[in-house]
């Protein structure tokens, strides 16, 4: 079906635009920017901010361009005195209720409200503050904080949480001067359905939603004499960190990243891709064993902690379907304080493990009570590590890392590429693609095929599982077995797939689920903005990086092979189980009902 | 939560049988049947679960409309308008009279967004910003019924009638 074109006029010039576009979208494609604070393409059309107003010939009042569709012959004026005045008034009304202490605000220089005020040359407000109720900052979540004082009630967060993630942890409660974004009975986020994904904070136009910061504890560890601080960088970081330093989105900067981490003062610069390769070996074998032994199928991936929390909250009956594999971040933490400590003869209590993650939920994951296998390992050997020892000590996001690089005075753009350290810095292209939706699946299939047939896939690029489609499926013939797989990203899509599993109607053997749209490259810890376009560019970077790697199959990673020889013995061994696997538990948010 | 209450809520939800926008009706009915005329947290969590509407959304709806209450209310409820018109016409006296005739729990004084209930849960008194009926000032609402041009004498009569009603 071809879309109908409409002839419209914007500021006196004639354009042909597709039917169904809003005035705001049409103007944008004509290169005319209309300021907006609440509109979110494809997600939110609440039209609450009133910043996007324009004049339409023949209309008595100004209209909100984000929710007004274009029609044949419409004449739009985006820059009249009346429009400017209305925008000023609306911004000033927002500012009247706003703290305006940008210097103290985490969002300083990245804030849409601040930028817009500046763009529109609004410097002050003469309106009185009308909001009366005060709400304390909600800091209950290990991943993010919510500060009502800075909230402009645009409801973008509410819509993302609902439309994209189908979590629905938040909604606007009360009305008028009392309105505020709230969980059920205003209990903190941590007691709600929230899965810590941070998709809300990626779209928040102000500093109302911010990730929890851990940079302080990282600097402290680096500064402490005698402390051995190792850092692991997740696959998705290299595909996005450049955006923080003025690079175009989609530029993989692996070597630069390693160089920057080393300059910051980490003792060893390692790569989470190493444990991503390891995850593939363990999970691939888990799949093969479940198929052979008629275990619970479909097997579902477990490396995305937001997804795990989602399953624990909404699909507790299906927890046996989840792979018992820990995520690469947690496998890394455990191994750093056990195998690596022993191999390098370093006192495990002197090791600090820092993760750089694209993800706010990873902060939550590292704090899960069961994520302390290293302490257990040493206890079994008669050695007590200090109380409260975690496998992973601090988790910082890509944005926090960029802050730290800036604070270090490192000129990121001028760094010469360096390599990650051995042994945990060795990885394959299969580990790299963990960063994109479909990547874990593709990596697993590459290895499963080789394990079952003894030879590599003819074409390692499994294009069927790539792309941005919400749910994608593929089948692969392996020695007479037709392996059926599916990939879902964004929890709304995950919910769809899970409902099918729930009904016993899932045709798949193996499902990959990633919490965030696009996979980890679109995580809540990544640079802002993270539009679909930006996410697609990061995905391209991930696959180009994969193709440039000498090894592209996890089972060929020499460091992983050595790890099995020296420590784990074989996949799914007893040691593997206690070090690399975990369990999940139902989250009952409303007990007794 | 008691099984009988769950059954009652199930019944109410069923009677609306998925009609669009039925949440308001369901909640109204549940509140009406509650002995203290309010919506307890567990009741709302259960309603959310049964209707499949996310709890945060249910909470959003309940807090948006002023006729829903999240705290126990007395058997009778009087809302007094404290808008400008009603204030000028003496709505303050009505509030003062109620305060002097009953013993309220947790009354910290003031009259903006007041919501107080007597110790014996007989009467709840609340204030509203404006009923939108300023021509009838001062306006009060008693158990859902609007009264205009109310004097203290009239209020006394209304209270007497409530006592007699024994519903
Ligand atoms: S949210 Fe934006 S405008 Fe508000 S204080 Fe922070 S930086 Fe300034
Ligand atoms: S972090 Fe994710 S789940 Fe939690 S409120 Fe934000 S969007 Fe919803
Ligand atoms: S928290 Fe941010 S995204 Fe959510 S309503 Fe407030 S300003 Fe908008
Ligand atoms: S962007 Fe249109 S009303 Fe906010
Ligand atoms: S001021 Fe009381 S009804 Fe309007």
Reported as a single tens digit per residue, the pLDDT across A139-160 is 999 999 999 999 999 999 999 9
In DSSP terms, A44 is beta-bridged to: A40
pLDDT tens for A71-91 read: 999 999 999 999 999 999 999
> B76-161: which CATH architecture?
3-Layer(aba) Sandwich (3.40)
**Cβ contacts (< 8 Å) between B41 and chain A: which residues?**
185
Ligand nearest to the CA of B148: 5
Q: What share of chain B is helix, strand, coil (3-state, %, to 5)?
A: 45, 15, 40
The distance from CA A333 to its chain's CA centroid, rounded to whole angstroms, is 20
Closest CA to A236 of A21, A584, A479, A517: A517
**Cβ contacts (< 8 Å) between A182 and chain B: which residues?**
56, 59-60, 63
pLDDT at B1: 87
Query: Residue A175, CB half-sphere, CA atoms under 13 Å: how many?
Result: 6
Query: Residue A349, CB half-sphere, CA atoms under 13 Å: how many?
Result: 8
Check pLDDT > 90 for residue A353. Answer: yes
Alpha helix segments (H runs only) across A56-111? 81-96
With a CB-CB cutoff of 8 Å, which residues 62-101 of chain B face chain A?
63-64, 70
Q: Which domain holds residue A329?
A: 215-580
Closest CA to B143 of B157, B127, B123: B123
Catalytic residue selected from A66, A303, A359, A516: A303
Count of domains for chain A: 3
CATH number of the domain to which A182 belongs: 3.30.70.20
Any B CB within 8 A of A593 CB: yes
pLDDT tens for A91-114 read: 999 999 999 999 999 999 999 999
Whether A551 is in a domain gets the answer yes
Any A CB within 8 A of B3 CB: no
A195 lines ligand 2 (CB under 6 A): yes
Give the Cα separation of A213 and A400 in Å (integer).
7
The domain boundary, picked from A91, A112, A144, lies at A91
Check pLDDT > 70 for residue B167. Answer: no
pLDDT tens for A391-429 read: 999 999 999 999 999 999 999 999 999 999 999 999 999
Any B CB within 8 A of A191 CB: no
pLDDT at B110: 83
A483 and A337 together in one domain: yes
Nearest chain A residue to B55, by CA: A184
Closest CA to A509 of A239, A274, A178, A287: A287
Mean pLDDT of all residues belonging to chain A: 96
Closest CA to A171 of A179, A160, A183: A183
What token pair was written down for B153? 């004498």
Give the Cα separation of A323 and A302 in Å (integer).
6
Ligand 5 center to residue B71 CA distance, Å?
Answer: 25
A195 and A330 together in one domain: no
In this complex, the residue of B46, B56, B70 whose CB is nearest that of residue A169 is B56
Catalytic site residue A365? yes
pLDDT tens for A291-310 read: 999 999 999 999 999 999 99
Q: What are phi and psi of A272, to 5 degrees?
A: -65, -20
Using alpha carbons, list the distances in angstroms from residue A44 to A50, A527, B60. 14, 21, 17
CATH number of the domain to which A338 belongs: 3.40.50.1780
Q: Residue B121 in 3-state DSSP?
A: coil
CATH number of the domain to which A65 belongs: 3.10.20.740
A234 and A357 Cβ atoms separated by less than 8 Å: yes
pLDDT at A476: 93
Check pLDDT > 60 for residue A538. Answer: yes
Give the Cα separation of B97 and B144 in Å (integer).
20
pLDDT tens for B27-72 read: 999 999 999 999 999 999 999 999 999 999 999 999 999 889 999 9
A368 and A421 together in one domain: yes
A351 and A400 together in one domain: yes
Span B64-89, average pLDDT: 92
A419 and A508 together in one domain: yes
Give, using CA atoms, the residue closest to atom 7 of ligand 3: A151
Using alpha carbons, list the distances in angstroms from residue B39 to A312, B6, B47, B127. 28, 13, 10, 19
DSSP, residue by residue, A456-488: --S----GGG-SS-SEEEEEEEETTEEEEEEEE
Catalytic site residue A283? yes
Q: What is the share, in percent, of chain A residues with pLDDT greater than 70?
A: 100
B148 and B136 Cβ atoms separated by less than 8 Å: yes
Give, using CA atoms, the residue closest to atom 8 of ligand 2: A161
Catalytic site residue A194? no
pLDDT at A592: 87
The domain boundary, picked from A192, A211, A230, lies at A211
A523 and A531 Cβ atoms separated by less than 8 Å: no
Mean pLDDT of all residues belonging to chain B: 92
A521 and A535 Cβ atoms separated by less than 8 Å: yes
Rounded to two decimals, the pTM is 0.94
Ligand 4 center to residue A41 CA distance, Å?
Answer: 11
Catalytic residue selected from A150, A212, A337, A362: A362
Indicate the helix (H) or strand (E) that contains B127. Answer: strand B123-128
A32 and A180 together in one domain: no
Span A28-52, average pLDDT: 94
A352 and A489 together in one domain: yes
pLDDT tens for B107-159 read: 888 888 889 999 999 999 999 989 999 999 999 999 889 999 999 999 999 99
Burial class (CB in 10 A: 0-12, 13-18, 19+), A84: middle
Any A CB within 8 A of B17 CB: no
Using pLDDT thresholds of 50, 70 and 90, give the confidence band for residue A1: low
Whether A117 is in a domain gets the answer no
The domain boundary, picked from A64, A91, A118, lies at A91
Span A433-447, average pLDDT: 97
Give the Cα separation of A191 and A30 in Å (integer).
45
A245 lines ligand 4 (CB under 6 A): no
Asked if A162 and B42 come within 8 Å (Cβ–Cβ), the reply is no
DSSP, residue by residue, A367-397: HSTT--HHHHHHHHTT-PPPTT--SS-EEEE
Catalytic site residue A505? no
What is the residue extent of each domain of chain B?
A: 3-64, 76-161
pLDDT at A44: 85
A139 and A272 together in one domain: no
Give the Cα separation of A548 and B103 in Å (integer).
80
Ligand 2 center to residue A194 CA distance, Å?
Answer: 5
Complex ipTM tops 0.90? yes
A467 and A489 together in one domain: yes
Whether A154 is in a domain gets the answer yes
Any A CB within 8 A of B41 CB: yes
A507 and A520 together in one domain: yes
């Amino acid at each position: 079906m071809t879309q109908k074109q409409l002839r419209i006029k914007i500021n006196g010039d004639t354009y042909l635009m597709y039917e169904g576009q809003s005035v705001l979208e049409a103007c944008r494609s004509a290169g005319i920017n209309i300021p907006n604070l609440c509109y979110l393409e494809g997600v939110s059309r609440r039209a609450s901010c009133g910043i996007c107003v324009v004049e339409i010939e023949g209309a008595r009042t100004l209209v909100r361009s984000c929710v007004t569709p274009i029609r044949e012959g419409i004449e739009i004026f985006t820059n009249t005195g009346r429009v400017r005045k209305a925008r000023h008034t609306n911004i000033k009304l927002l500012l009247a209720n706003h703290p305006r202490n940008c210097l103290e605000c985490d969002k300083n220089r990245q804030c849409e409200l601040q930028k817009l005020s500046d763009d529109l040359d609004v410097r002050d407000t003469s309106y009185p503050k009308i909001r009366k109720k005060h709400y304390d900052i909600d800091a209950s979540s290990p991943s993010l904080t919510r500060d009502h004082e800075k909230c402009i009630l645009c409801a973008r967060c509410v819509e993302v949480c609902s439309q994209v993630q189908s979590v629905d942890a938040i909604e606007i409660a009360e009305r008028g001067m009392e309105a505020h974004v709230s969980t059920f009975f205003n209990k903190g986020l941590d007691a709600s359905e929230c899965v810590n994904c941070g998709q809300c904070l990626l779209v928040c136009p102000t500093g109302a939603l911010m990730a929890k910061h851990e940079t302080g504890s990282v600097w402290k560890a680096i500064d402490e004499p005698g402390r051995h601080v190792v850092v692991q960088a997740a696959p998705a970081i290299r595909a996005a960190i450049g955006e923080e330093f003025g690079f175009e989105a989609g530029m993989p900067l692996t070597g630069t990243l390693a160089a920057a981490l080393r300059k910051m003062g980490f003792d060893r610069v390692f790569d989470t891709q190493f444990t991503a390769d390891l995850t593939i070996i363990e999970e691939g074998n888990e799949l093969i064993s479940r198929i052979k032994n008629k275990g619970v199928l479909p097997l579902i991936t477990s490396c995305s902690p937001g997804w795990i929390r989602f399953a624990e909250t909404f699909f507790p009956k299906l927890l046996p379907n989840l792979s018992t594999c820990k995520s690469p971040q947690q496998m890394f933490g455990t191994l750093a304080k056990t195998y690596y400590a022993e191999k390098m003869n370093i006192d495990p209590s002197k090791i600090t493990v820092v993760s750089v993650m694209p993800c706010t939920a990873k902060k939550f994951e590292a704090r899960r009570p069961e994520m302390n296998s290293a302490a257990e390992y040493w206890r079994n050997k008669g050695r007590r590590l200090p109380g409260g020892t975690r496998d992973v000590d601090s988790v910082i996001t890509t944005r926090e890392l960029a802050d730290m690089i800036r604070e270090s005075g490192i000129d990121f753009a001028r760094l010469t590429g360096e390599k990650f350290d051995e042994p945990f810095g060795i990885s394959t292209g299969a580990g790299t693609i963990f960063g994109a939706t479909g990547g874990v699946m593709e990596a697993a299939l590459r290895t499963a095929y080789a394990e079952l047939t003894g030879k590599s896939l003819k074409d390692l690029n499994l294009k069927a599982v790539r792309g941005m489609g919400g749910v994608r499926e593929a089948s692969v013939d392996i020695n007479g077995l037709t392996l059926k797989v599916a990939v879902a990203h964004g929890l709304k899509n995950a919910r769809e797939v899970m409902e099918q599993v729930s009904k016993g109607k899932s045709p798949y053997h193996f499902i990959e689920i990633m919490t965030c749209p696009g996979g980890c490259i679109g995580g809540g810890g990544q640079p802002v903005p993270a539009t679909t376009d930006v996410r697609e560019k990061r995905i391209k970077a991930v696959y180009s990086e994969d193709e440039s790697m000498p090894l592209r199959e996890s089972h060929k990673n020499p460091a992983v092979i050595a790890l099995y020889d020296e420590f784990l013995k074989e996949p799914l061994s007893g040691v593997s189980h206690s070090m690399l696997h975990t369990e999940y538990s139902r989250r009952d948010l409303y007990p007794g009902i | 939560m008691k099984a009988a209450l769950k059954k009652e809520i199930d019944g109410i939800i069923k009677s609306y049988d998925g009609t669009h926008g039925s949440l308001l009706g369901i909640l109204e009915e549940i509140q009406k049947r509650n002995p203290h005329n309010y919506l307890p947290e567990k009741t709302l969590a259960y309603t959310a679960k049964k209707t499949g509407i996310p709890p945060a959304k249910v909470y959003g709806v309940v807090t948006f409309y002023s006729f829903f209450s999240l705290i126990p209310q007395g058997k009778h409820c009087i809302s007094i308008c404290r808008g400008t018109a009603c204030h000028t016409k003496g709505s303050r006296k009505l509030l003062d009279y109620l305060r002097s005739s009953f013993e309220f729990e947790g009354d910290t004084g003031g009259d903006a967004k007041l919501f107080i209930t007597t110790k014996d849960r007989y009467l709840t008194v609340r204030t509203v910003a404006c009923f939108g009926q300023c021509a009838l000032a001062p306006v009060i609402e008693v158990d859902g019924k609007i009264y205009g041009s109310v004097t203290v004498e009239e209020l006394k009569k209304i209270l007497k009638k409530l006592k007699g009603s024994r519903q």
